[in-house]
Amino acid sequence: MFQKAFGMLALAMCECIAPCVLRGQSAPPSQTITLPPGQTTITTQPTTPPTALTPAEVYKQSMRPLDQVRTSLDNWSDAELGALSIGISKAREACTQMNQQDYSGDDLYDYAHLCAFGQVWGAVNTAAARYIASNAEPHRAQAYALSINALIQVNMDNQAISTAREMLNKLPYDAEVAFTLRYMKDTLEQRGNPDAFALAEEEHEKIIAALKQGTPLKATTGDAVITIGDLYDSAMLLAFYEQYMNNGIAGAAIASSCDNALPDSSTLAPEDRQHIERVRTRFHLLGQQLPNLIITSSLSSPTTKPRLPQSFGAGTVLVLFPDWCVQCRKMMKTLTEFAKVNAGTPLHAYGLVFADTSMITDSATHEGFLQELQGTSTFLVPADTPQTFGAQEFPLAIAIDSAGVARFVGAVPSTAFNGDGYITKVIQRMTASEPVKKTASTQTQNK
């Protein structure tokens, strides 16, 4: 997963406030776990670092859960959200009071960065464009990224795409460029914009060349780095897009080019090998019948049988997630409403929750998580279910057509079932048999 999918901006850019890059979580920090009433502590599974990993690799894996949880505001405490709001207000006020014409060089870039934190998108774009036009080098790639994000925030997708193409063609293909292109591809895909495919095609030759180097991709300036696993993940998006459009032969050929660009598996870091295998698992599910799915119980009601319906209807969407995932549990309300308003089609939607005992061993905590899901269209599945679907990011959605064939497998934002959300676009691409009815907004559904 791209832990910093728009890494050059990081939390200072507050990208988590923007339309969500398609990504999820792998584990929660203790302070974000909702405990049952009266319980104040949790018991976590002790971990022994594998001897095959270096201390640096173990440290990176240890920090990854915290980094990933921070990407969703659903997991932030009221205190954190309050502090963030204060910071944004202060940055916005400063940005609007300053005259960007007074700045040049590093000061101009810092001004654009400040305005991005304050979400003054017009000032961000003009300042970043001025910095780029000045031919200054230290923050050139980051300035392109700032401009692109600002254009995305104000829904100027065409201008953002043009700027991304300019960045791709004018700058060396490094980590900053790769991060920004991944952000663009994910954002456009989520918005149902077919230019996600076009950008992936234009980037493919360069990302394959980077994979062939057999080392993590670094930034020309700055400290951004993309692991081989993350680079492979981004390269494979083009193969996924082909499969989404029923171009199985083309998708397989692209996947083969990605595999051929990889160094020998024995030279890869364990984390990269695992990441690559999970991407491959997800890809090979596309175009195939839904794998055998064991369901142990239903959380919808005591009388609901723990099984999927015999018919997949016009389409069925499954959303897999661990019980600790706060944002996943919240989205089950809108998933359930989505299924209700589309029952006449029918379009089905079900959550698939599993108890992640590798993170939390206390059974009372797991029971508390499941209590929050009572009354929603959620099934409890075995803890090894994520392996079947190559799950690495959560929530992970699997969209199945009327014949029971998987047509989409990927991480989705917590807003995926809201209004004209991402799932609606996925289903519309998968089938045109019936219109997809919209659910209410996030604010309404989460009350």
Per the prediction, the chain carries an average pLDDT of: 85
CATH number of domain containing 249: 1.25.40
Domain end among 234, 265, 285 = 285
**pLDDT, tens digit (0-9, with 9 covering 90-100), for 392-443:** 889 999 999 999 999 999 999 999 999 889 999 999 999 864 556 766 554 4
For residues 403 and 354, membership in a common domain is answered with yes
For residues 319 and 438, membership in a common domain is answered with yes
As given in the structure block, the two tokens for residue 72 are: 């969703």
CA nearest neighbour of 342 among 417, 441, 244: 417
For residues 167 and 70, membership in a common domain is answered with yes
Query: Where residue 6 falls among pLDDT bands split at 50, 70, 90?
Result: very low
| CA–CA gap between residue 123 and residue 14 (Å, rounded) | 16
**Minimum mean pLDDT among 19-23, 59-63, 248-252, 268-272: which range?**
19-23
Judged against a pLDDT cut of 60, whether residue 34 lies above it is answered with: no
As given in the structure block, the two tokens for residue 192 are: 């149902």
CA nearest neighbour of 422 among 238, 187, 198, 200: 187
For residues 311 and 170, membership in a common domain is answered with no
* Residue located via tokens 């989505």: 338
For residues 276 and 301, membership in a common domain is answered with no
The pLDDT assigned to 77 comes to 76
Judge whether 44 lies within some domain: no
Helix axes 55-69, 270-285, angle to 10 degrees: 50
Query: Where residue 264 falls among pLDDT bands split at 50, 70, 90?
Result: very high
Q: Where does residue 311 rank: exposed (0-12), middle (13-18), buried (19+ CB within 10 A)? A: exposed
For residues 271 and 339, membership in a common domain is answered with no
Judge whether 65 lies within some domain: yes
**pLDDT, tens digit (0-9, with 9 covering 90-100), for 338-368:** 999 999 999 999 999 999 887 778 889 899 9
Judge whether 230 lies within some domain: yes
Judge whether 188 lies within some domain: yes
Query: Where residue 15 falls among pLDDT bands split at 50, 70, 90?
Result: very low
Q: Range of 378's domain?
A: 297-445
Query: Structure pTM?
Result: 0.83
- How would you label 333-344 residue by residue, b for 16+ Cβ within 10 Å and e otherwise? bbbbbbbeebee
For residues 278 and 313, membership in a common domain is answered with no
For residues 129 and 271, membership in a common domain is answered with yes
- How would you label 136-174 residue by residue, b for 16+ Cβ within 10 Å and e otherwise? beebbbbbbbbbbbbbbbeebbebbbebbbebbeeeebb
For residues 316 and 264, membership in a common domain is answered with no
The pLDDT assigned to 429 comes to 93
Residue range 148-174: average pLDDT?
Answer: 97
Domain end among 260, 285, 310 = 285
The pLDDT assigned to 53 comes to 64
For residues 278 and 170, membership in a common domain is answered with yes
For residues 176 and 244, membership in a common domain is answered with yes
**Minimum mean pLDDT among 4-13, 239-248, 317-326: which range?**
4-13
Judge whether 429 lies within some domain: yes
Judged against a pLDDT cut of 50, whether residue 175 lies above it is answered with: yes
Long-range contacts of 58-64 (CB under 8 A, 24+ apart): 60/271, 61/271, 64/3, 64/26, 64/27
| CA–CA gap between residue 353 and residue 370 (Å, rounded) | 9
CB 134 within 8 A of CB 110: no
CATH number of domain containing 407: 3.40.30.10
How many domains in the chain? 2
As given in the structure block, the two tokens for residue 251 are: 């998708």
Domain end among 225, 256, 285 = 285
| CA–CA gap between residue 176 and residue 167 (Å, rounded) | 10
Contacts of 124 (CB under 8 A, 6+ apart): 112, 115, 116, 146, 147, 149, 150
**pLDDT, tens digit (0-9, with 9 covering 90-100), for 72-95:** 777 777 888 888 899 999 999 999
Judged against a pLDDT cut of 90, whether residue 55 lies above it is answered with: no
For residues 306 and 405, membership in a common domain is answered with yes
Helix (H, G, I), strand (E, B) or coil at 403: coil
Judge whether 292 lies within some domain: no
The pLDDT assigned to 61 comes to 59
Judge whether 47 lies within some domain: no
Judge whether 4 lies within some domain: no
